[in-house]
Amino acid sequence: MYELIQATDKTYYIQSPAKIGLVKLNEEEVCLIDSGNDKDAGRKVRQLLDKNGWKLKAIYNTHSNADHIGGNKYLQVQTGCKVYAPGIECAFTKYPILEPAFLYGGYPCRDLRHKFLLAQESDAEPLTAESLPEGFELIELPGHFFDMAGFRTPDDVVFLADCLSSMETLDKYQIGFIYDVAAYLETLEKVKKLKARMFIPAHAEATEDISGLAQYNIDKVHEIAEHIMEICHDLICFEDILQKLFTGYGLAMNFEQYVLVGSTVRSYLSWLRDSGRMDVEFADNRLLWKAI
């Protein structure tokens, strides 16, 4: 873990729970794409930088989930590097309490205020195409989170953040986190057609052809949607939908899974409602869902 792997002449990635990109800007300076999940990840990255005699100029965050921004503060304090994050992700990066609060839908209890959902604050600036190094391309990848972005490096390596998961991860956990299902599917359709020298997803193996994995993720979204529709053949409340999904997919409920899967299921219900496939009814002071 935290092995530095060279993809091309100037582009590397650090093998970690959420892959970290590293790009040489010149012989002395590098930038990172994300920073790992916590201070310890930041410390290990710093050791790699020191070992190679590299100065960290900037961190470009793909999005604000804690496992991607957790090393920001340590590295920023240690190196003085800039931190950039796209759109709404910048606010979440500066004020990371927003992530567990958003997932829970209120003030998060202590069971949710930990490093896996709550990173340390970092002094982030808005990420724009102009703030990127010369030769970089910003790729909008919304859906998994609000304004997630990926990057194409000057030597044609594309970092895809969390816009798709490995087949093994999907087969094991079934329901991957999604904020906006419609945007997520549009992103996957776009990614499926991309060409690059190499693709590096944060949670799947690096590959030269991403189309098959993108389609696998698309198919999984539609499978889950159909499962939800089947559960909602009669009027049913959200908690019962969630319980049936957990049972049907053999998932184990805890606080983290409750908010991550629960938020995702609400997003599926919104998508199905907006696309005319789900109706609602208020009865006995409960919101009930029913497939059309």
214 domain residue, yes or no:
no
In this predicted structure, the answer to whether residue 55 has a pLDDT above a threshold of 90 is yes
138/9 same-domain check: yes
8/153 same-domain check: yes
The residue with tokens 């590098």 is 30
**CATH number assigned to the domain comprising residue 26:** 3.60.15.10
**CATH number assigned to the domain comprising residue 247:** 1.10.10
The per-residue pLDDT of the chain, averaged, comes to 98
Q: In the Cβ-directed half-sphere of 204, how many Cα atoms lie within 13 Å?
A: 26
- What lies within 8 Å, CB to CB, of 13 at 6+ separation is 4, 5, 7, 19, 20, 21, 22, 159, 200, 206
User: The domain containing residue 265 runs over which residues?
Assistant: 231-291
Would you say the pTM of this structure is higher than 0.75?
yes
Length of the chain: 292
153/8 same-domain check: yes
175 domain residue, yes or no:
no
Q: Which two tokens stand for residue 32?
A: 């990172």
Query: What is the model's pLDDT at position 11?
Result: 98
62/150 same-domain check: yes
88 domain residue, yes or no:
yes
Number of domains in the chain: 2
- What lies within 8 Å, CB to CB, of 4 at 6+ separation is 12, 13, 14, 22, 48, 52
- What lies within 8 Å, CB to CB, of 74 at 6+ separation is 39, 42, 43, 46, 120
In this predicted structure, the answer to whether residue 113 has a pLDDT above a threshold of 90 is yes
Over the stretch 228-253, which tens digit does the pLDDT of each residue have?
999 999 999 999 999 999 999 999 99
142 touches 107 (CB < 8 A) = no
